[in-house]
Structure 1
Amino acid sequence: MTDPDRPQPAPYVLDSAARADLEFDRLRTIEQVYDPGTEEILTRVKPAPGWSCLEVGAGAGSIARLLASLAGETGRVVATDTDPRFLRNIAHPGVEVIEHDITAGPLPPGSWDLIHARSVLEHLPDPESVLARLIPSLAPHGQLFAEAIDVSRETLAIAAEHAPDRRAATAFLEFATAVHRLMTLAGAHPELGSTLPVLLAAQGLEGITHQRRHPLVSGGERGFYALSLARLAPSFQDHGLLDTADDRLSSLFDDPSMVFPALPIGAAHGHTPAVGRRQRRT
């Protein structure tokens, strides 16, 4: 039962009520920024023909399509999302699309060789319990690959050093700090990218690797930051986190000559034991 005296989390930071064209463009910019790093790690994971792969929170579907090409005709790729509208017309016959809430509904049945989730776990109230649901569904030596935003103070400082000038660094830090505060208010976990290896180890995974990425992005009216600011502006304004009536940030983010650090992301990968499964440590 919900405690009426306890402050309740605000709604999901990025709900699904956005205009379809703007939201699709935003998801595509996320793919452009973060897919190269995801693909580089997948080359080390080496998904093979015949693998069964679960893509959690598939967004606009780029990684689901990649996994389908790697798993081939003998493999299986299931792409899930609570808002699968941008997956319905996914251009790959090897991808099965399911509308699914990973925190509530039963997992799609299967013994998965690979489960991948990017920019999902950090938005959930209890990412550890979600991992505890996902990992037992892995096959022996099954791979779990999770990526989550990391806007901790330390990581933001490192990312700001990659900015080409002070204006870009200041705008990045202002926006990222507001994101951190908004996610915290929503009951989300804005620093999860730093702690993923610990969470995977606690679930008994082995061979854990961790990587932090600090990609750079160009400005532009349909760019990463312009679209993100447009999506988050009402929430920023409602909570007094950012004065979106001041067009200084939007002018910078709309400028195609500007280059900014993207929001940093942490990626962790591990696998279950080759035979049997290790029990969760307590």
Structure 2
Amino acid sequence: MTDPHHPQPTPYVLDSAARADLEFDRLRTIEQVYDPGTEELLTQVDPAPGWSCLEVGAGAGSIARRLASTAGESGRVVATDTDPRFLRNIAHPGVNVIEHDITTDPLPPGSWDLIHARSVLEHLPDPESVLARLIPSLAPHGQLFAEAIDVSTETLAIAAAQAPDRKTATAFLEFATAVHRLMTLAGAHPELGSNLPVILAAHGLESITHQRRHPLVPGGKRGFYALTLARLAPAFQDHGLLDTTDGHLSSLFDDPSVVFPALPIGAAHGHAPAVGRRQ
């Protein structure tokens, strides 16, 4: 019998099989919101022709395509996902798409010059163990670049301060707080974006950098918040986390004239040591 004081973890809150009709559009909005920041950080990583790159949880494939364009014919890019249906039309000959569960399946063979993961580690039950599997597969001086949602109290307050008015800030905080609670119930890690640098350092990476970002995004019926709310509304209702029946959030999120802070994301980057120095 389930202990009501210690609820069992629920399934992955954004399981792509649950609402496949919305998932591709949602993944594309994630790209629109977060790709500019990822691209900026990739210029600092400076991938080069001939690199071997592993894109973990590749979503709709935008970053895998970008890496393949840089790695060129002499390099390789492997894009993994537990549900690769949205990668089948990736339209880039340099990307090898595989169905893969990073928590249990063997890693694709090779010493990787770059491993990138965005918006996947925080949804796993033990992201540190996954990073402990990924980091040893880096080539000497290879680089790991991880991005994860960070909806801690501190980051939400910083992001809310960027909202154009109190009404928008209140709606953002109401939604983001419900996301934090739902992720926690699911056994996920809603504050992982803040903790990534410590984890990377503990596993031997060097020259670690960390950045938080929360770009502003417009509303709209097919926008980031409207689609995410549509995906999560049943779970919010089931767990009593957010009343979505009165439509007050939907009306705001559907309005293209309203601008919101995106859910904050933390990005950490580090280098593997030279041969003989890794522990």
TM-score for the superposition, normalised by structure 2: 0.97
Equivalents in 1 of 2:196, 2:87: separation in Å? 27
1:20 Cα offset (Å)? 3.4
8 Å CA contact retained: 1:136, 1:277 = no
Task: Give the C-alpha shift of residue 211 in structure 1.
Answer: 0.1
Alignment correspondent of 1:246: 246
2: CA distance between counterparts of 1:210 and 1:34? 16
Counterpart residue number, 2:125? 125
Contact 2:211–2:266 at 8 Å: present in 1 too? yes
AA in 2 matched with 1:33: V
Aligned to 2:112: 112
Equivalent position of 2:152 in the other structure: 152
Q: CA RMSD in A?
A: 1.3
Q: Tell me which residue corresponds to 1:70.
A: 70
Q: Deviations over 1:30-51 (max 9, x none)?
A: 0000000000000000000000
Does the aligned pair in 2 maintain the 1:140–1:277 contact within 8 Å? no
Q: CA deviation at 1:277?
A: 4.6
Aligned equivalent of 2:8: 8
Alignment-mate amino acid for residue 33 of structure 2: V
Contact 2:11 2:186 in 1 (8 A): yes
- SS of equivalent to 1:181: helix
Q: Distance in 2 between matches of 1:99 and 1:206?
A: 30
SS, match of residue 98 in structure 1: strand
Q: How far apart in 2 are the matches of 1:55 and 1:197?
A: 19
Amino acid corresponding to residue 242 of structure 1 in structure 2: L
Distance 1:4 1:74 in 2: 54
2:177 aligned partner: 177
Q: Distance in 1 between matches of 2:206 and 2:19?
A: 42
SS at match of 2:105: coil
1:95 is aligned to 2:98? no
Q: 2:7 touches 2:185 (CA, 8 Å); kept in 1?
A: no
Aligned match of 2:275: 275
Please report how far the alpha carbon of residue 275 of structure 1 lies from its aligned counterpart in structure 2 after TM superposition: 2.4
Normalising by the residue count of structure 1, what TM-score does the alignment of the two structures yield?
0.96
Residue 219 of structure 1 contacts residue 257 of structure 1 at CA under 8 Å; is this kept in 2?
Answer: yes
Q: Which residue number corresponds to residue 193 of structure 1? A: 193
Alignment gaps of 5+ in structure 2: none
Task: Report the CA distance between 1:215 and its aligned residue.
Answer: 0.4
Aligned AA (1:90): I
Secondary structure at the counterpart of residue 114 of structure 1 = strand
Structure 2 distance, partners of 1:184, 1:26, is: 21
In 2: Cα distance, 1:48 partner to 1:4 partner: 52
Q: Which runs of 5+ in 1 are unaligned?
A: none
Match of 2:38 in 1: 38
Question: How far apart are the structure 2 equivalents of 1:224 and 1:99?
Answer: 26
Confirm or deny that 1:261 pairs with 2:261: yes
The structural deviation recorded for 1:167 is 1.2
In structure 2, the CA distance between the partners of 1:174 and 1:4, relative to structure 1 (3 Å rule), is closer
- Residue 246 of structure 1, CA deviation: 1.2
SS across alignment from 2:66: helix
Q: Distance in 1 between matches of 2:25 and 2:277?
A: 40
- AA at the equivalent of 1:262: A
Q: Is the Cα contact below 8 Å between 2:19 and 2:231 reproduced in 1?
A: no
Aligned length: 277
